[in-house]
Every structure is written in C-alpha cells, then in structure tokens.
Structure 1
Amino acid sequence: MSSFVWMKVLESTPERYDRGIAMLSGGRIAQVYGRIAAIAAAPGRRVLDIGCGTGAVSFACAERGALVTGIDINAEMLEVARAKPVPEGGTIAFLQLAAAEIEDRFEKTSLDAVVSCLAFSEMSEEEQDYALEIARRRLVPGGVIVIADEAAPATPLGRLLHRLRRLPVVLATYLLTQTSTRPVTGLAGRMRAAGFVDVSQERMLSDAFVIVRGTRP
C-alpha cells in the first residue's frame, strides 16, 4: 500500500469502495477498523462515527455491542452502508450529515465515544479543530475520541520514500476527481489544544497510518 488517496476515486463508485480500500491496504485495513472498535466500543456505549462512508468502522463497533450513529455527506456511500446486515447485539443508524452539523444534531454529553477513519485528511486544519472541539463537548466526561488516518512516516527517509510513492497516485487522483487528500499532521497536538487529555498515538500499516486517541476530562 502506498497511499489511501485513491479513496477519492473509490467514493465515485461506492459499491466498490470496501473492496478497493482492502486492496490498497493489502488486506490490512480491517486491522485498523478492529483497533478503533477495540478502543472505543463496548456493549451499550453510544458511538458517533464521523465520515462513516460505507460503514466499516460503524459495523466493527456494533459487533462489540455499541449503539452507533454513522454520519457522512455522501448519500450513495450511506446507501451501501444501510444495505449491510447489522451485527447482533449492537445497533446502527446512518445519517446524511456533515461534521459541521454535529453541534445541531447531538446534545452535549450525549456520547461515550467519537471515532473517525479516513475523514480528517479531507478536512482543513480549521475544520479539524472545529470537529475536535464539537466532539469534546458531545462526549461525557471520560469519553474517548479515536481518529485514524493516513500519516507521513516518522523518519526522514521514510517520509521521502512515502512522498515519492504517493506522488503519481496524488496526480492521477486529481486528474480523475479534481480533489485529493493529504496525510494528517499534528493531530495529537490539536487534540490536546481542543481540551482532550491522555492523548496518545500508535502507528499501523507500515508506519503510513496513525491512530490518535484522547479522553474528555
């Protein structure tokens, strides 16, 4: 796997999205979904999945008994998500909603966990800050946030190789969709600035993916 920017192409054909992301990750993206769910989900926990797409993280959380609400602005992706069977023990509701609308739809301290995968890389830094702030207010004290996304490798050599591998994919994606994504940077610091504590991060998938977590005090 060289990059997840092809997700922009796959979003234009939602029925192929899950298969495409699995191929791009060498079949390892399910490890990320499972890790997010292991941190955030438990029986009866109220989980919000921001940018849920076709629902992979939402379903991983529901399999652990969580009560999940998945939001996304792409109606076709949500259609694919709604067509999937809901795991026993959990519930899922899918809403066509942007991250900026969370404030209007969810009450303060109404969630136990907020998760997001491959969505923050599509946001500007200002949008990321806003989403983190709104998420913190919607979480109960002790609630957790878990953000997973593409990230540049930690070492200089790794970053150089990553850019070289990524460049043709970025160019091709832009030519096809006129959009692109970028690796997230400084997300742990943004979480702390938004008021989260116990912030930590872990690398996955050959150091090209990061999972950042924090807790509302």
Structure 2
Amino acid sequence: MEIAENAALVVVDVQRGFEEEYEDYWGARNNPEADDNIASLIDAWQATGRPVVFVRHDSLKPGSPLRTGYAGNEFKEYVEQRRGKGAGAELLVTKSVNSAFYGTPDLDAWFKAAGISQFVVVGIQTNMCAETTARMGGNLGYDVLFALDATHTFDLEGPFGWRQTADELARATAVSLHGGGFARVVTTASVLAAAR
C-alpha cells in the first residue's frame, strides 16, 4: 500500500454524542479500540504534515445527541485536543446528512484545489456516515482507503424485524466497500506503516 504525501485523513463525526453515556439512544457498540486507532492516525497525519479533515455532524433531529448547541455535538476530547496541532492543512466540514461531500465547505472542491486524490476514512458510524463518505469518494474518482478498525457502529434494527449486531454491520460495510470497488478496506496498522 502506498500513502501519498498529500493524502488526507477524513475524521468523520467523532463526537461526544456517541460516547457511552448515550448508549440508551444508540444501543450496543462494537470495536472498543476504534478511538485509540483514530487518535494514532491523527497523530501520524499531523506528524508527517499531511492534511486532516475533521467532519462534524450537526443533526437536525430534535432529540439527537448530535444536535447543534448540545454537548454531544462537540468533538470527543481526544479529537478536540489534536485540532490545530498538525503541520499540514486542516479543514472543518459541518454537515447534516451522511456524506461529508454534502457538507460546508465543499470537500470535493477543497480536495481538487489542493491536488488531493487519495484519502483515508476513519470515524463513526462505520455503516452510516463513514461508509457513505467512502462510497461517494469512490464515485467521485478518489483513491479511498477505509480503516475499518478505526471506525465503530451500533446494533441496528431494519425492516421486517431484521436486526444486525454492530459487528455484522461493520463486516457488511467492509464487504460492500471493498468487494464493490468503492474503497480498499485496510487496518490502522497497515496505514500507519505505509504513512511513515
């Protein structure tokens, strides 16, 4: 795997509203190592002067822990502590839908202006905003790497009473993204090794 000198790290929705205190809202989560992996990737990107994009979900749903003006809308502490610390470019994108490409400012335009053609996706939730951002990036022609173990999600109920665990949803995302050609699904360790 090769990581471009200007490859961006896109940190999706790593917000306080996804922490344990909101478990009643979201349900059971998977991958407790996700936060440590996200932090290590931010550190590596900042240390090598690569660009980092921090994406924040400003939910329009009245009861959402991610709604604007609510404590859950803020970035998790370890992310907030790292913002503004890197030698490379940094961008804050805010959105109210799943894809970071439908946020403000225009992520695609920012990438194109900076000559960025590759990015790594990390964050929350695996099968929601992280996956949607990766899919759209693939559709737009970017070389997308999806660091699966630097994401997490929650159990979810769908139609017909079907229910999938967070681990099942994460595996389905990995298969869809990788098998469908939207992104290359990788591990944090492999990305860190290639980024050095």
The TM-score bracket by the shorter chain reads 0.3 to 0.5
Q: Which has the higher contact order (CA 8 A, sep 6+)?
A: 2
State the structure with more CA Rg.
Answer: 1
